[in-house]
Amino acid sequence: MAKQTSILTYTGALGDTIGYRRNGRHWLRSKPKQVRQTKATQLAAMRFGMASKRGAFIRKAIYQELDVLCDTSHINRLTKLLIAANGSHPQGIKGFRFNADTGISRFFAAAPVLLADGKLAIPAQQIAKCNGIIALEVKVIATRIDCNSRTVRGCHTETMTIAAGSRFAGAMLDMNVPGHGALLLTIQVRGITRNGISADSRYLAADIAGILPPMPVKMSQRVSFPSIAAYRRQLDSYSILQHPQPMPECCLLE
C-alpha cells in the first residue's frame, strides 16, 4: 500500500495499479495478476448480476411517471432486496421506498390495499397535518411488466388532491393494466405548500405499495390420438369390407 502524492489523485484501476480512498486520503496498490473464485463467490456474483439487471429494469419502468427525486442509496437498496428474493421475481420489493427518508405511512395511517382484481382501496381516515403543508398530491402509478422479456406492457396513472388535516372519505381506483406480466403499484405523495410543491424530502414519498404476480397461462385442451394398434385394426376392417374373402366350397349350398 502506497500513498498518492500527486496533485491529481484517482480511484479505480490504472495500468497495473488500483487507486482507492480511505480515511480521506488516496492510496494505491498493485493489481492482482490472478483472481481466484470459488463456486460460492461465482454463485454470489451471478446472483448480484441478475439482481442488478432486474433492479435496473424495474427502476426504468417506474421512473417515467415518477416525480419524486430518489435518494442516492435507492439503487443499492433495491438490488439488495432482489438478491434476497433470488432476483427471479419482484414480489420481495413490496414496501420499497424510493425516498428512504419518508414513506407514504407518514401521510396515511391506514395503508392502501391492492386487490386481486387490480383495484386499489384507500381506506377512509384522518389525514395527518404537517407543518406548512396545506394539501397532498397523491399519484398512483400502475405498471405492467414482463420480467422474463424485460418489457413494459403498459402503464396507468391516477392523481388526486387531498386536503391536509382533513377527514378523507376513502377511494376505490381501478388500476388494472391489461397484458401479461406482474403488476407493480407505486404510490407517490407530495406535500403542497402555499407556494407550490414542497422540495423538502420529509414531505415527498414514493413507495411500491402492491404487487400482483403474473396470471398463470392456461393450457389448451389436449387432443388425444388413437394408438398405432387401433389404427391398424381400423385399416384391417376397412380392407375386409372393401375386399371380402370368398367362402369355402364346403359351406356353399347345393
| CATH number of the domain to which 71 belongs | 2.60.40
Q: Could you tell me the pLDDT band of residue 73, with boundaries at 50, 70 and 90?
A: very high
- Give which of 96, 71, 101 is closest to 84, Cα–Cα: 96
Is residue 50 domain-resident? yes
Please check whether residue 23 is in contact with residue 110, taking contact to mean a CB–CB distance below 8 angstroms: no
- Give which of 37, 41, 44, 38 is closest to 83, Cα–Cα: 44
Domain count, the chain: 1
Q: Which amino acid is at 202?
A: R
Is residue 191 domain-resident? yes
Instruction: Give the whole-angstrom CA distance, residue 250 versus residue 236.
Output: 26
Domain enclosing residue 86, as ranges: 39-212
Is residue 3 domain-resident? no
The confidence score (pLDDT) of residue 232 equals 67
Helix 39-63 to helix 74-84 angle (10° resolution) is 120
Res. 174: pLDDT tops 70? yes
Residue-wise pLDDT tens digits, 230-246: 666 766 665 555 555 55
Is residue 178 domain-resident? yes
* Angle, vertex CA 81, rays to CA 73 and CA 184, nearest 5: 95
Residue-wise pLDDT tens digits, 43-61: 888 888 888 999 999 999 9
- Find cell 396470471 and name the residue: 215
Is residue 220 domain-resident? no
Is residue 31 domain-resident? no
Residues 105, 107, 110, 116: is their CA dihedral positive or negative? negative
Is residue 217 domain-resident? no
Is residue 144 domain-resident? yes
Res. 84: pLDDT tops 50? yes
pTM of this structure: 0.71
Residue-wise pLDDT tens digits, 116-150: 999 999 999 999 888 999 999 999 999 999 988 88
The confidence score (pLDDT) of residue 31 equals 84
Strands (E), the chain: 2-3, 12-14, 17-22, 25-30, 113-114, 119-122, 125-126, 135-146, 151-163, 167-168, 171-174, 182-193, 196-197, 204-212
The SS3 of residue 236 is helix
Q: Which amino acid is at 18?
A: I
